[in-house]
Amino acid sequence: MESRNKTQISEFLLLGLSEEPALQPLIFGLFLFMYLITVIGNLLIILATISDPHLHTPMYFFLSNLSCVDVCFMSTTIPKMLWNIQTQSKVITYEGCIVQVYFYLLFAALDDFLLTVMAYDRYVAICQPLHYTVIMNPRLCGLLVLLSWIVSALFPLLHSLTVLQLSFCSDLEIHHFFCEITWLIRLACSDPFLNNMMVYFGSVILGGVPLAGILYSYSKIVSSICGISSAQGQYKAFSTCASHLSVVSLFYCSALGVYLSFTATHSSHTSAIVSVMYTVVTPMLNPFIYSLRNKDIKRALKRFFGMGMFVKGPFALGLKNCP
């Protein structure tokens, strides 16, 4: 193939999930629906945690941050996909592709680190309940979130800088619905050794290390729960971790599915479809997992919308209470 210098590249082509014209309206409607559900669901969790003073605790502070990151994570890829379907275009600019790679990796890493921080929060709450308020003070909570942002922003920046050094061939078709970094490396005509090393190194730092932290926290949690004498106490302790454990399982199982599909199959179509689970379905399900069995969030939302329904209240109640 004829090599082209990286400065001459102006755009890539995103082939999406299917090239069948008849399927495009269905894909557009389905992904628009899932995007709106994700945004509304996560915003409701953020609204509940901000509006209710009873939810101003470390657990809900981390949860609101996770909800915000999930909205940003999905907004990195889906709006561009919907725009391309609506305009019947497959083009994404070279600069737009690099920016999408950066923010996709940023919010994926943030998801990972926040889940790890939430596992540590549950570990302290169950294993050291008497010292919980002292250990998980507002300063430490803010520092953990800030550190997650710094580390998550650093590695995607290094990834993006190494991608900028690649030269690409005449084939600029990405068999995906967003600019996935491994696909960019596949299209490169120059030696991608450094990029592959960055991918493997980043997978260990951004995936392996947080997963090890989560597993360690839950090993301590399980050990502590087993030491509780009453079955009711064990159930109550485990119920505080059930939602987080469900989200962690969904996150890592879908991420592992994407990785295995990419390495074990030569079908680009299969890899793109499996990626939907990781990039779309997981952020969409998180609000449901955290709210369906969470009485605190349900109560906060009912209280908030109950107050909103009685906007005339101050005057009406004032007149009613007058002698």
Question: What pLDDT, on the 0 to 100 scale, is given for residue 221?
Answer: 92
What residue type is assigned to position 307 of the chain?
M
DSSP three-state, residue 61: helix
Structurally, how many domains does the chain consist of?
A: 1
Residue 264 lies in a domain: yes
Residue carrying the six token digits 């592992």: 256
Residue 5 reports pLDDT greater than 60: no
Query: Mean pLDDT: which of 168-172, 210-214, 271-275, 287-291 is highest?
Result: 210-214
Whichever domain contains 98, its CATH number is 1.20.1070.10
Question: What pLDDT, on the 0 to 100 scale, is given for residue 1?
Answer: 40
Q: Is 226 left (phi over 0), alpha (psi -120 to 50) or beta?
A: alpha
Handedness of CA 77, 81, 87, 91 (dihedral sign): positive
Question: What pLDDT, on the 0 to 100 scale, is given for residue 289?
Answer: 87
Q: How large is the angle between the packed helices 24-51 and 295-309, nearest 10 degrees? A: 90
d(CA 299, CA 269): 43
Token pair listed for 78 = 């889906």
Range of the domain at 200: 3-298
Question: What pLDDT, on the 0 to 100 scale, is given for residue 227?
Answer: 83
Question: What pLDDT, on the 0 to 100 scale, is given for residue 312?
Answer: 44
Residue carrying the six token digits 């932290």: 213
Residue 204 reports pLDDT greater than 80: yes
Residue 313 lies in a domain: no
Question: What pLDDT, on the 0 to 100 scale, is given for residue 43?
Answer: 94
Residue 44 lies in a domain: yes
pLDDT tens digits, one per residue of 183-198: 888 888 888 888 888 8
Residue 308 lies in a domain: no
Mean pLDDT value across residues 93-102: 94
Question: What pLDDT, on the 0 to 100 scale, is given for residue 261?
Answer: 58
DSSP three-state, residue 207: helix
Question: What pLDDT, on the 0 to 100 scale, is given for residue 168?
Answer: 86
Mean pLDDT value across residues 54-62: 92
Please state, for a pLDDT cut of 70, what percent of the chain lies above it: 87
Residue 177 lies in a domain: yes
More reliable by pLDDT, 159 or 144: 144
Residue 231 reports pLDDT greater than 60: yes
Question: What pLDDT, on the 0 to 100 scale, is given for residue 259?
Answer: 65
d(CA 268, CA 107): 24
Cβ-contact 274, 258 below 8 angstroms: yes
Cβ-contact 228, 131 below 8 angstroms: no
What's the whole-number average pLDDT of the chain? Answer: 84
How sure is the predictor about 308, in pLDDT bands with cuts at 50, 70 and 90? low
Residue 164 lies in a domain: yes
Residue 233 reports pLDDT greater than 80: no
Residue 77 reports pLDDT greater than 90: yes
Residue 313 reports pLDDT greater than 50: no
Question: Rounded to the nearest 5 degrees, what angle is found at the Cα of 182, between the Cα atoms of 251 and 263?
Answer: 70
Question: What pLDDT, on the 0 to 100 scale, is given for residue 171?
Answer: 76
Residue 311 reports pLDDT greater than 60: no
Residue 54 reports pLDDT greater than 90: no
Residue 314 reports pLDDT greater than 90: no
Token pair listed for 4 = 């082209």
Question: Rounded to the nearest 5 degrees, what angle is found at the Cα of 148, between the Cα atoms of 202 and 209?
Answer: 45
Residue 183 lies in a domain: yes
Residue 69 lies in a domain: yes
d(CA 111, CA 285): 14
Q: Across-strand partners of 12?
A: 92
Mean pLDDT value across residues 292-311: 72
pTM above 0.85, yes or no: yes
